[in-house]
Amino acid sequence: MSEDIIYPVREDLAGLQPYGAPQLEVPIRLNVNENPYAPSQAIIDDIASSVAQAAATLNRYPDRDFPQLRASLADYLATESHVRVSPENIWAANGSNEVMTQILQAFGGPGRTVVSFAPTYSMYHEYARDTNTRWVQGQRDPDFHLDIAAVEETLRRERPSVLLLASPNNPTGTALPVDDQKRILDIAATTGPQINGRATSTIVVIDEAYGEFRRAGVPSALELLDTHPHLVVSRTMSKAFAMAGLRLGYMAAARAIIDAIMLVRLPYHLSDVTQATALAALRHSAELLGYVDSLREERDCLVSWLRENGFDAIDSDSNFVLFGQFADRDAIFHALLTHGVLIRVVGPNGWLRVSVGTPQETDAFKQALKEVTA
């Protein structure tokens, strides 16, 4: 092959590195907020026989609209959040990353703007870049909460078609109180781009990737769907649901929003194998989510332990904790790695993020952190 060929890669992609946390084979992996508990043999067996059944018709394309899976996801949300949405108001894709990219494919693009508030999930910026949507990033407060006045000012100034807000937020773990969600939704009702001389709504995506870890008594944004037709609630089976390897994310939204997304989705994007695996996993949701309570407790104990040991730690509604503050966080990250503990360098300078693991993994992390900071 000739070395001289010049490929017409998009100028804005030239020289960039692909996104992704390091995937390293180390004993303690606490870097991508997975549920540390693997599926039981009963679940493995059910998935295996469901996939075998799907395999019998793999010569055919899968169901493009996957009504069975949508119904099953709607049932799950009704149990988990006590909010009943119709299967027609559910959409799914290969991870919530794909769901949110599809939202920007349908509502973003050249001439359109998407807004978010840092520090937040770093992929949001990539969805914008990949869909040629203008990216505007405001800042959270020093305590990592959202200043609603700043959100209002940004929405009115930028007139975005989409606002992306994670609650609980990654990497801070902070949740957006429901009253703030309502205020933002009310403002966003008229802050979208002007189309044919008329103000549109900004689509507000509340990304509840970590929603199941929220504290008892905290409602899901799903409760606001009925009254706010420009709201999208994004969820995933990758985190609390302990199915990161499956790649299944989904959203609940008004039918018109889902209709728009169906225009941009690739045909047959959810394979039969994915649909069969997800349906099998959903039959076992109680067991798969069985460790959520203990992970929450483990998280709160970890925050207390970090503070008792002289670190700053942010109260988390998620399954990870942002802690610091270090003059050289990269040095701490690498020192932990030499102890076989992989965490994540992410968020504002000086801070690190650790996922909540099994009690044994958390102990190994605490021990290693004590040694490397002694």
What residues numbered 220-239 form the site for ligand PLP, per CB under 6 A?
A: 236, 238
Kindly state whether residue 166 participates in binding ligand PLP, applying the rule CB under 6 A.
yes
**Kind plus residue range of the DSSP H or E element containing 24:** none
Q: Are strands 231-236 and 203-207 parallel, antiparallel or unpaired?
A: parallel
Residues 122 and 129: beta-carbon distance below 8 Å: no
Neighbours of 152 (CB within 10 A): 16
Q: Is the peptide bond before 359 cis (omega within 30 degrees of 0)?
A: no
29: which strand partners?
Answer: 342
Residues 138 and 118: beta-carbon distance below 8 Å: yes
Q: Which residue is nearest to ligand PLP (CB)?
A: 95
Sole residue written with tokens 């049932």: 75
Nearer to ligand PLP, 9 or 24 (CB): 24
Site string for ligand PLP, 119-138 (x = CB under 6 A): --x-----------------
Q: Least distance from C-beta 310 to ligand PLP, angstroms?
A: 28
Q: Least distance from C-beta 165 to ligand PLP, angstroms?
A: 10
Kindly state whether residue 192 participates in binding ligand PLP, applying the rule CB under 6 A.
no
Sole residue written with tokens 């609980």: 168
Kindly state whether residue 319 participates in binding ligand PLP, applying the rule CB under 6 A.
no
Choice from 95, 119, 211, 357 touching ligand PLP (CB under 6 A): 95
- Sign of the CA dihedral running 253, 256, 260, 263: positive
Site string for ligand PLP, 193-212 (x = CB under 6 A): --------------x-x---
Q: Least distance from C-beta 96 to ligand PLP, angstroms?
A: 3
Neighbours of 183 (CB within 10 A): 16
Q: Least distance from C-beta 208 to ligand PLP, angstroms?
A: 9
What residues numbered 16-35 form the site for ligand PLP, per CB under 6 A?
A: 33
Distance CA 216, CA 66 (A): 32
Kindly state whether residue 249 participates in binding ligand PLP, applying the rule CB under 6 A.
yes
Q: Least distance from C-beta 171 to ligand PLP, angstroms?
A: 8
- Sign of the CA dihedral running 29, 244, 353, 362: negative
**Residues of this chain that bind ligand PLP (CB under 6 A):** 33, 95-97, 121, 166, 170, 207, 209, 236, 238, 249
